[in-house]
């Protein structure tokens, strides 16, 4: 393995020392949510212990301290994804809320009956349902680009589906059910060639690779904090300033949006126009702390280490008779989705749990993906920077043993 | 290796999972109801042949985890020959057993269904065991064509 300080990193995550059913925890459900380092936990405790008050409100000392930490975190997010300006960083509850915001704000203002929204067949429900709702409201049509049996987007088909009626392309950067990493830069360029904006769902991609929104040139990029070692309940919508400026607010006037003319001067300045109410202050500060923590390690090093973990796990999994990997894209993040011959994923999940191994069993909020592969569900081991080869060995031994028990 | 799971995955459950009983489509069924657990994708179709208010025959088709397959397999065996009321009473007892509210639950009251008592220690799996019975309940009440655990 590369010279990656995994033991030092593990020591920073208190939960990794927990015993589950009297066995050391092997946490492989990182695509659902990942664990938090002490630095993130401390940042929240410290805020509430020493610096907490409401932000952007008072002239008193605590309000200023709290605001500084809150806005400091915004700057950290901006730098982390290389956005052009803090104004382009909107704090929301998570990737789901960010997509709903774009659908209901940008979508309602710009998408009409007969227009088309283009997604792919590997989307998470959160990048399907908000658009279905918008289509229901507007009469627009949802188009779905197909995938192949490796779980890759069939790019040629995707390109064909970009039409004169397409008003928005919304694509997952990395699939949560398959691990596939989409050629998003190419997708953005193809859509832009026809003047169509692109939203990238970065919920899975963000903890696994360096993301540069200016290099990608995407119009919107969304992600959740909780998959980035930060608290749950906080997420980010990045949007290009010109687009955000032109968009009506998301909360506090949904019914009026259709009636007002699209004038940015009527609303608050960015990013506050989209941040109605007291924000989740401590969680934002925690997100900033998570970014500091990741920067100290380096996203490129994390990506390289996780690629080694995935290669190791894939090789081991292929040696298990009766195991079928679901999602074998050439470009793939650290997710191993699989099914076992005649053993239901929920039985796999319960059996592995008894060994202290946490995996996900189910449809992964991607039922259309399950339908495509004709499985009711899959078992999914998803890796993070704190996982080890030894843990993968424990997983594989567990799988082999349960196959034996089921006979 | 899986010693902790012995209460949940008893040999009888593995047996019914490998060789489910009454696993067939029933021609001319009087009742046919689909049961679906959207969380795990368990899906079954239950068929009943009635003789007055008595269940003359029961069979099923579908796919699911070992717990749900064993549960529906055992159920089709045990309800055959029972009246609707007897089957409903058994459902009530089975529900009590699997949700584990009564610590002094008498396992003898459910006969061989007692092998499924282990699910009460696994809240995430209770629905796997009860899907079959909710489906039967709907079939007996002739309520609808499909039911869901959610």
Mutation site for A-interface testing, chosen from B2, B15, B23, B38 by largest number of A Cβ within 10 Å: B2
> Residue B104: its pLDDT value, please?
81
Instruction: Identify the band that residue A1 occupies on the pLDDT scale cut at 50, 70 and 90.
Output: low
Q: How far is A141 from chain B (nearest CA, A)?
A: 26
Instruction: Identify the band that residue A262 occupies on the pLDDT scale cut at 50, 70 and 90.
Output: low
**Residues A109, A233 within the same domain:** yes
A104-116 average pLDDT score: 97
> Residue A263: its pLDDT value, please?
57
> Residue A257: its pLDDT value, please?
36
CA-to-CA distance for B80 and B69, rounded, in angstroms? 17
Q: Could you tell me if B12 lies within 8 Å of chain A, comparing CB atoms? A: no
Residues of A labelled catalytic: 365
Residue A37 placed within a domain: no
pLDDT digits (tens, 9 = 90+) for A205-231: 999 999 999 999 999 999 999 999 999
Q: Could you tell me if A83 lies within 8 Å of chain B, comparing CB atoms? A: no
CATH number at residue A14: 3.90.1150.10
**Residues A307, A360 within the same domain:** yes
**Residues A231, A354 within the same domain:** no
pLDDT digits (tens, 9 = 90+) for A119-160: 999 999 999 999 999 999 999 999 999 999 999 999 999 999
Say whether B60 sits in a helix, a strand or coil: strand
Q: Of A295, A329, A358, which residue constitutes the final position of a domain?
A: A295
CB contact under 8 A, A405 and B4: no
Interface of A with B in 304-343 (CB under 8 A): 343
Write down the ipTM of this complex. Answer: 0.88
Residues on chain B touching A401 (C-beta within 8 angstroms): 1-2
Q: Please name the helix (run of DSSP H) or strand (run of DSSP E) that holds residue B134, with its range, or none.
A: helix B126-141
Residues on chain B touching A379 (C-beta within 8 angstroms): none
pLDDT digits (tens, 9 = 90+) for A43-67: 999 999 999 999 987 789 999 999 9
Residues on chain B touching A347 (C-beta within 8 angstroms): 9, 65-67
The domain in which residue A188 lies consists of: 42-295
Residue A1 placed within a domain: no
> Are residues A293 and A37 in contact, defined by beta-carbon separation less than 8 angstroms?
yes
Domain B3-141: CATH architecture, name and number where available: Alpha-Beta Complex (3.90)
Q: Could you tell me if A285 lies within 8 Å of chain B, comparing CB atoms? A: no
**Residues A114, A237 within the same domain:** yes
> Residue A255: its pLDDT value, please?
30
Q: What is the mean pLDDT of chain A?
A: 94
pLDDT digits (tens, 9 = 90+) for A282-311: 999 999 999 999 999 999 999 999 999 999
CB contact under 8 A, A406 and B66: yes
Residue B125: which of A345, A350, A407 has the nearest Cβ?
A350
Instruction: Identify the band that residue A253 occupies on the pLDDT scale cut at 50, 70 and 90.
Output: very low
Q: Could you tell me if B118 lies within 8 Å of chain A, comparing CB atoms? A: no
A109-114 average pLDDT score: 97
The domain ranges of chain B are 3-141
Q: Could you tell me if B128 lies within 8 Å of chain A, comparing CB atoms? A: yes
For chain A, what is the HEC assignment?
CCCCCHHHHHHCCHHHHCEECCEECEECECCCCCCCCHHHHHHHHHHHHHHCCCCCCCCCHHHHHHHHHHHHHHHHHHHHCCCCCHHHEEEECCHHHHHHHHHHHHHHHHCCCCCEEEEECCCCHHHCHHHHHHHHHHCCEEEEECECCCCCECHHHHHHHCCCCEEEEEEECECCCCCEECCHHHHHHHHHCCCCCEEEECCCCCCCCCCCHHHHCCCEEEEECHHHCCCCCCEEEEECHHHHHHCCCCCCCHHHHCCCCCCHHHCCCCCHHHCCCCCCHHHHHHHHHHHHHHHHHCHHHHHHHHHHHHHHHHHHHHCCCCEEECCCCCCECCEEEEEECCECHHHHHHHHHCCCEECEEECCCCHHHHHHHCCCCEEEEECCCCCCHHHHHHHHHHHHHHHHHHC
Name every residue whose Cβ is closer than 8 Å to that of residue B69 and which is 6 or more positions away in sequence. B16, B17, B20, B63
A277 pLDDT higher than 80: yes
Phi, psi at A271, each rounded to 5°: -90, 0
Q: Which residue has the higher pLDDT, B26 or B144?
A: B26
CB contact under 8 A, A401 and B2: yes
Q: Which two tokens stand for residue B100?
A: 């584990």
B66-81 average pLDDT score: 96
Say whether B4 sits in a helix, a strand or coil: helix
Reading phi first (left if > 0) and then psi (alpha if -120 to 50, else beta), residue A186 is in alpha
CA angle B19, B24, B25 (to 5 degrees): 165
Residues on chain B touching A363 (C-beta within 8 angstroms): 41
A115 pLDDT higher than 50: yes
**Residues A303, A287 within the same domain:** no
Q: Please name the helix (run of DSSP H) or strand (run of DSSP E) that holds residue B28, with its range, or none.
A: none
Task: Please state the domain count of chain A.
Answer: 2
């Amino acid at each position: 393995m590369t010279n990656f300080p995994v033991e030092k990193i593990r020591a920073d995550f208190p939960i990794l020392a927990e015993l589950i059913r009297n066995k050391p925890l092997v946490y492989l459900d990182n695509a659902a949510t990942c664990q938090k380092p002490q630095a993130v936990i401390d940042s929240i405790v410290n805020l509430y212990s020493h610096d907490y008050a409401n932000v952007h409100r008072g002239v008193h000392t605590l309000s200023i301290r709290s605001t500084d930490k809150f806005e400091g975190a915004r700057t950290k997010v901006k730098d982390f994804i290389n956005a052009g300006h803090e104004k382009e960083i909107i704090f929301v509850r998570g990737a789901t809320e960010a997509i709903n915001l774009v659908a209901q704000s940008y979508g309602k203002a710009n998408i009409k009956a007969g227009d088309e929204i283009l997604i792919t067949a590997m989307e998470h429900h959160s990048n399907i349902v908000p658009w279905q709702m918008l289509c229901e409201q507007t009469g627009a049509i949802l188009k779905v680009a197909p995938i192949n049996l490796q779980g890759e987007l069939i790019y040629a088909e995707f390109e064909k589906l970009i039409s004169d009626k397409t008003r928005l392309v919304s694509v997952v950067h990395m699939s949560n059910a398959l691990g596939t990493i989409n050629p998003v830069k190419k997708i953005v360029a193809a859509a832009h060639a026809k003047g169509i904006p692109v939203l990238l769902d970065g919920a899975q991609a963000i903890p696994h690779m360096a993301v540069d929104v200016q290099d990608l040139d995407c119009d919107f990029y969304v992600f959740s904090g909780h998959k980035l070692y930060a608290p749950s309940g906080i997420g980010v919508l990045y949007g290009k300033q010109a687009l955000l400026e032109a968009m009506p607010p998301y909360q506090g006037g949904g019914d009026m949006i259709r009636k007002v003319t699209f004038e940015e001067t009527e609303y608050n300045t960015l990013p506050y126009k989209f941040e109605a109410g007291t924000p989740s202050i401590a969680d934002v500060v925690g997100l900033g702390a998570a970014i500091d923590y990741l920067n100290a390690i380096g996203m490129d090093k994390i990506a390289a280490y996780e690629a080694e973990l995935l290669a190791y796990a894939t090789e081991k999994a292929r040696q298990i008779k009766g195991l079928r990997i679901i999602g074998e894209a050439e470009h793939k993040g650290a997710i191993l989705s699989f099914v076992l011959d005649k053993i239901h994923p929920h039985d796999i999940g319960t059996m592995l749990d008894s060994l202290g191994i946490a995996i996900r069993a189910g449809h992964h909020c991607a039922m259309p993906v399950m339908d495509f592969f004709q499985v009711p569900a899959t078992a999914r081991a998803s890796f993070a920077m704190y996982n080890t080869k030894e843990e993968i060995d424990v997983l594989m031994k567990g799988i082999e043993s349960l196959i034996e028990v089921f006979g | 290796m899986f010693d902790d799971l012995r209460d949940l995955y008893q040999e009888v459950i593995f047996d019914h999972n490998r060789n489910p009983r009454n696993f067939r489509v029933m021609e001319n069924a009087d009742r046919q109801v689909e049961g679906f657990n959207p969380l795990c994708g368990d899906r079954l179709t239950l068929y009943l042949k009635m003789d007055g208010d008595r269940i003359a025959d029961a069979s099923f088709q579908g796919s699911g985890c070992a717990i749900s397959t064993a549960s529906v397999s055992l159920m089709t065996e045990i309800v055959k020959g029972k009246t609707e009321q007897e089957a409903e009473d058994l459902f009530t007892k089975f529900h009590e057993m699997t949700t584990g509210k009564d610590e002094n639950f008498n396992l003898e009251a459910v006969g061989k269904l007692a092998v499924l008592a282990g699910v009460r220690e696994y809240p995430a799996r209770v629905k796997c065991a009860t899907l079959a019975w909710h489906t039967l309940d709907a079939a007996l009440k002739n309520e609808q064509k499909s039911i869901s655990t959610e």
